[in-house]
Amino acid sequence: MIFEDGSDTTLAARQLLLSNKDHLNCPHLELLGLPQFLERAQAVRLTRHEKETLVEQATILIDQFYAHLPFKRARYATDPVQRFRLLLAQLDHHPNDRTFHDQMIQAFLRLRDAHTYYGLPAPYRGSFAFLPFRMDCFGEPRHRKFLVTNVLDGFDHPRFGVGAEIILWQGMPLELAIEREADRGFGCNRAARFVRGMKQMTKRDLTLALPPDEYSVVLQYIPYKDGPSKGSPEQFCIALPWSVAMAFLPEIQRVTSRSSLNQSLAELKQLSQILFHRQMMAPAAQANPDAVSRFPQVFDFQYTGGLRQPNGINPQDLRDPANPDKKFGYLRIKTFELDPADENADAFVEEFKRILEQMQQKAPHGLILDVRSNPGGVIAAAERILQLMTPVKIEPARFHFINSQFTRQIAYSMKDAESNVLTEGQKEWHPWVMDLLSSVTSGDFVTAGRTLTDPNLANGEVRCYQGPVTLLIDASCYSATDIFAAGFQDHGIGSIIGVDENTGGGGANRWTHAELLEKLQGVAPHVPLRKLPRDAQIGVAIRRSSRVGRYAGSFLEDEGVKREFAHIATRNDILNNDQDLLAFACSKLGAEPIRSLTIVKAEILEDDGVSLIVETFNLFRIDCFVDGFQQCSFAVHDGVNVFWVPTGGLPFLPPSQIRVESYAKITDELVGVELKLVGNATFKFVSSTAVAAP
């Protein structure tokens, strides 16, 4: 076996990255070896008073504001409050800051909640440790294989490149090494722990996790098939040093407090983009601007017969051999973040709607919606786009505060406040005030659920894609993406295909310590919160989310959203833009029946009625609503149908809008044959003739 030292190759790639720091808009970027970074970190010392402040503030947040505390105590048999008390009593037992930080991190990690964390101060804050490659896996659990999928620019090695298979990590089978690392991470269910553990093997956010114990790793691998060894079974060993990037990424900030974001995943995803996909950061010139999203950092899309985009999926892969004439679309949502100041996510919704309208024309037979590796963002963005894919009324998720001494005191101080004179901070608490006050007698751990997304906004748009939709998930879906996937499933919008068993299981609205401190100004002077030293940060799941619809009352935290169809990733998937996964999704969509509803014409008649012409396919019945009032129902046949809709009894004439809902006969395993709402169309009257609603 040949042993190689990859230090020089890694250093060359690091120097190339550093030479591009201005191009990357990282003018203050520093790249160090791990020993040099640790030497710098040890030179920065917290005072005893600063440590006491950090422990005391963490205790208050977890004990009085952490929405999952009773449930985490039961699920993981952990007591973070007692750990903080012990840490405070034993501050003199820690010889250096690193052991103190480790104890703080461990107290949070045992909660297995990426929303609730201890963020280290400088120089750890904003720093990342990374190896010069990225890897992914395929195959069944316990029999997975791990391939190198990217290497740093400038890391030129004759054998260790894309496609190389890693066998051992520090002499240990790689899958076992990942599982051990996973137990030290935030993942709250088995699938999420494994995915987080695999990411931690090659890159770490040092704000939330201490640096690796080893300065370098030794890997045993089989060369990639196109190298000089041409995929021979001969194995090689290579030692690769850890590097640390400082001042690499702009810090992610949320202006709105109604977001749900896994900050660590978001930053690591951005780090990977810079390290391994720098060529994709600059948008390519397009002959047809409609072929790409106006927000390429948020959306990617493609359809059968479309022009292939650089580094995008192949439109030829969007086909079903069993249904060669059907056309399918693919739409990836990379994040639910767009404009931090747009709390209601209007721009996000408008762009999603614009893309769906294109899909209705270009890919009417099915849409693959991909939210894998989406770390979350604005909750309203995740919930408002659901209405664009279903005729069903959307019910937003519910959120709950914990019932504690401090939250009840906050409610008591606000119980007589008028809603029209509330400050911004008070508005966050006001809907839950009476629930908090009544918790003394009810004994509930958390309050009743209230929505964060306005139900009127969640139902203010018209469905614009009528084909079947399937959702792709993995265990890296988190936060607002968990909420989106739950809403997708709870409202029966379509099937869910998972490359992992479930999503990440992050069901909460997160606030940082700084946000909570700001929102309690003038609201709760009795709460002893004060600024954290050295720009340290503490995040807390402040409001716990619960589901609606068919899973009403169940919680997302820890469990996530379960897949309905499993796809085990293949070598072809991880090396060739998910070819097999897309084929599997297209086969599911191709088997779905096609239904359509179109209002051809609607005209107000003089004798208090509306002449309605609709074109339908594969439908059983329609219901007609005029200005929101149900007026009549009709059986329909495929093709053009002509009806007269009465308007007598309406409060206002002439009417302004007609809405048609369509139903199909569905065979349900539990219910038998049922009528299911499958489509809708809404038109507004201009003069006497209806036109499409905007």
| CATH of residue 644 | 2.60.40
Range of the domain at 192: 2-41+127-246
Helices (H), ranges, 491-578: 513-519, 571-575
On whether both 222 and 284 belong to a single domain, the answer is: no
> How many structural domains are present in the chain?
3
Q: Point out the domain boundary residue: 246, 281, 303.
A: 246
Q: 233 and 314: one domain?
A: no
Pair (292, 338) in one structural domain: yes
Q: Give the C-alpha separation, 49 to 47, whole Å.
A: 5
8 and 154 share one domain = yes
Q: Are 562 and 622 in a shared domain? A: no
Q: Is the dihedral of CA 110, 115, 120, 123 positive or negative?
A: positive
CA angle centred on 496, ends 494 and 498, rounded to 5°: 165
Q: Rg of the chain's alpha carbons, rounded to an integer? A: 27
CATH number where 240 lies:
2.30.42.10
- 569 occurs within a structural domain: yes
User: Does residue 60 belong to any structural domain of this protein?
Assistant: no
pLDDT under 50: residue ranges of the chain: 255, 281, 284-285, 287, 692-694
Asked if the structure places residue 93 within a domain, the reply is no
Q: Choose the final residue of a domain: 198, 214, 246.
A: 246
Q: What is the pLDDT of residue 285?
A: 44
Q: Can you give the CATH number for the domain in which 337 is found? A: 3.90.226.10
* Structural domain ending residue among the three candidates 187, 211, 246: 246
Whether 154 and 280 map to the same domain: the answer is no
In a domain, 232, yes or no: yes
pLDDT of residue 229: 54
**324 and 468 fall within a common domain:** yes
Together in a domain, 370 and 240: no
Burial 650-675 (b: 16+ CB within 10 A, else e): eeeebbeebbbbbbbeeeeeeeeeee
Q: 673 and 575, same structural domain?
A: no
pLDDT of res. 694: 37
Whether 474 and 368 map to the same domain: the answer is yes
- Alpha-carbon distance 303 to 314, whole Å? 9
Are residue 313 and residue 179 in the same domain, yes or no? no
Instruction: Give the integer Cα–Cα distance in Å for 368 and 354.
Output: 16
Return d(Cα 690, Cα 692) in angstroms, integer: 7
Whether residues 657 and 569 share a domain: the answer is no
In a domain, 73, yes or no: no
Kindly state whether residue 72 falls inside one of the protein's structural domains: no
Q: Which residues are CB-neighbours of 8 under 8 A, at least 6 positions away?
A: none
Give domain status of residue 410, yes or no: no
Within a domain: 88: no
